[in-house]
Chains A and B, each alone.
Chain A
């Protein structure tokens, strides 16, 4: 009976001011990942977390991210020791004074080094297509290419609203 009518001044304002619904979560993630060229890579070793910034690219099915790193780096060492990583992509640069509009997505998964060869070339093309200035960098024999098999995305917006998405679920 009245419970459907809304009790008290408990009427929704949607009817009064129709709004535009947010696009679905995968679309939001796609948008963010397409617009942000860099990610923060989290690695670990001996209980010590380590964070680095990387230029990355992602496949259209969201299952794989790819980035490159010189082999003399700390992150390379850590990646070869432990494949469990996280990548953080966010748009905080766009909204330095509006926390509520910042969106971030954390992708978790396994990072695997791609051996030189046909597969390497394929993944290198994906990365360089997104970051053309990295062509020479990727070609250098001292650089390793990693692909991250992504398990899940954790999307955060409005300061505390968190949703999880598994691509291809």
Chain B
């Protein structure tokens, strides 16, 4: 029995020299340093075999394969990887650890003493080569107390073998569901007044005779996370003499003098030398404690800072997962300053009277708006997108505490939030109700002619005055957005068509849960979470919920508000173009963002003549369908539950918006702010862009309409009027009717494309 448990848990001081494939590089090197006489925190490892045992007993390999096999990883977006990683993590957390293994771990934890805070870290075999270069690939859990806590933390670390970051760097990591394994290192946390990192050579200039030391007060984790700005020394590598000291940014009340004394620096310099002799490479060391209590937390080879490949966005994705502290800062900035400022700026632009500006002033306005758009797009990437992670943070927090069967149960906490898109849909529904009550008005609105004419004649119809007033208010508030270079305000005809469709569909349309239902469902989940975390973490949980809800709401609102700035720039550009055209100085049609520069110039210089050639529209690559190939079942993500059958309507141009009919299946690349008002008409939504928490999924879920997204080439593979069944529970889109008269259709017989009239074939149900 005793020998059996030893194989699950190996005390650090008994880790053999050649055990790296089993315990991972981090643990093997720490053991070696301990043997060489360095102080290292006491602890133990769970070798990779423990991971294998757990995964096998719980059947988790199948879960990993199912998540990663849904579509080729190359075709997965970062958001989809995050979703897959969340589901894998949930499955790991829900799985029991085999009792022999659990007993072995709790035994060792108890032997380390009661109440000792522990750090549970990954030590994946072969991990350092990649994770050294890209931080945050695998998880660590610090401050864990007691056996059950450690077992939970171990599961979190195991699951992080399949984290979103690991999936992004799967090639570098050699990630493979049938071979990859994870060892875990559990160590006592050492609390000292100084911690830091040290490099045997300068990673940025390895050829120079320099070593680097960085120090912060308190925990090393604060430095590694970038929470505290460190003091930094450059030492002469050969002698240890200080070449340079730079004081870290500290609070006003903090001391002026260096955080480390000369003796501390000497001890660190010596340690760097000894570690280098031990391993044969200049190390990158994490340390804590001042001489003579200097403790080494880990060491690994220095990864030289390669100039990042500009096409490689992965490092940026990893910054999109801010921790609780940064989320709180972002919340104040985004909700308190940025969104109100964005809204105010859009409002200001919209109320500017451009007509009274002379050409030079109009040029200035275009310049201002183009600059504002540029600025807001930057804010979007730097603040709005990272803040959107608040909802993911809530998801993980909820799942860790509640352990629900459905990894997306937390989405219920977000339902019923007052979002601009829902407000717009409600306003449109009100307009539709007005039309429904007045058949004469409906007849006028359905008549031919352009929309301004139609609206003019509608005024005289019964209920028309009220309708036109409401419609104009609606347009000013909600249609100031553009799609493919056209402002929706200029295409009010498409929105009138949608209004009529809504009126005709009337009460048959589902509007999802009522506000009250959504609120009570959300409150029930909130109680569940608060109960799970207990009183001590109540405030923390409430804040996580608040940030999650806010980020969910703003995630949607910011798109509409940014869309308004775009639309306002476009409106100024159009006016400028109209004037130049009237002066006979402009030929050509294409007036888009790209023309800002030349239009400004021409408005300022009366001599200037312009020809705007149409920009080549980027060809949408065709899906690789072979001759005679027909899709039957497409797979995506189950983004909103429900099941519906309908005819496909693809949205690819502004005109498509007005063509959308009630009961059709909305197929598009991704639901844009300019098309959310079509969703209430749709029987289902299919998108190419995937993710459980993206715009289209949010709207569909709010309305109770099935949505499958992440369907590769959806808008190319599916054709208008194809009959499809969308299964939002499983994430499957089935094309055509099931037919059974297969062999009667000879190889050269009639078309076998399953989009024939329904009823032509025997139907399944």
| Chain A: CB-nearest residue to B384 | A8
Given A1-B484, A13-B77, A14-B74: A166 and B69 within 8 A (CB)?
no
Interface contact B61-A2, CB-CB below 8 Å: no
Taken together as a complex, chains A and B put the C-alpha atoms of A83 and B78 apart, in Å, by 50
**Chain A CB within 8 A of B562 CB:** yes
Stretch of B202-210, B524-532, B743-751 on the interface side: B743-751
**Chain A CB within 8 A of B624 CB:** yes
**Chain B CB within 8 A of A121 CB:** no
Interface contact A7-B695, CB-CB below 8 Å: yes
Q: Among B65, B313, B624, B630, which residue has its beta carbon within 8 angstroms of that of A98?
A: B65
Stretch of A21-29, A46-54, A132-140 on the interface side: A21-29
Interface contact B77-A154, CB-CB below 8 Å: no
CB of B374, distance to nearest CB on chain A (Å): 12
**Chain A CB within 8 A of B626 CB:** yes
CB of B615, distance to nearest CB on chain A (Å): 11
Q: A135-150 toward B: CB 8 Å interface, digit per residue (1/0)? A: 0000000000000011
| Chain A: CB-nearest residue to B73 | A19
Which residues 121-169 of A have a CB within 8 angstroms of B? 149-152, 154, 156, 158-169
Given A3-B483, A11-B78, A151-B743: A16 and B633 within 8 A (CB)?
no
**Chain A CB within 8 A of B742 CB:** yes
Taken together as a complex, chains A and B put the C-alpha atoms of A92 and B320 apart, in Å, by 40
Interface contact B311-A99, CB-CB below 8 Å: no
Q: Among B62, B626, B635, which residue has its beta carbon within 8 angstroms of that of A160?
A: B635
Interface contact B624-A24, CB-CB below 8 Å: yes
| Chain B: CB-nearest residue to A20 | B74
Q: A20-63 toward B: CB 8 Å interface, digit per residue (1/0)? A: 11101110000000000000000000000000000000000001
| Chain A: CB-nearest residue to B484 | A3
Interface contact A152-B742, CB-CB below 8 Å: yes
Q: Among B65, B635, B672, which residue has its beta carbon within 8 angstroms of that of A3?
A: B672
Taken together as a complex, chains A and B put the C-alpha atoms of A8 and B745 apart, in Å, by 47
CB of B51, distance to nearest CB on chain A (Å): 17
Most buried by B among A15, A85, A108, A152: A152
| Chain B: CB-nearest residue to A156 | B633
Q: List 30 A-B contacts (CB under 8 A).
A: A1-B592, A3-B484, A7-B672, A7-B695, A8-B555, A8-B559, A9-B79, A9-B320, A10-B77, A10-B694, A11-B313, A12-B77, A13-B77, A13-B168, A14-B74, A17-B74, A19-B73, A24-B624, A24-B626, A25-B625, A25-B626, A100-B70, A108-B743, A110-B743, A152-B742, A158-B71, A159-B69, A160-B732, A166-B628, A169-B628
Binding site for A on B (CB under 8 A): 61-62, 65-66, 68-79, 81, 168, 170-171, 177-178, 311-314, 317, 320, 377, 385, 388, 482-485, 555, 559, 562-563, 566, 570, 592-593, 618, 624-635, 669-670, 672, 674, 689, 691, 694-695, 730, 732, 742-743, 745-748, 752, 754
Binding site for B on A (CB under 8 A): 1-4, 6-22, 24-26, 63, 83-85, 97-101, 108-110, 149-152, 154, 156, 158-169
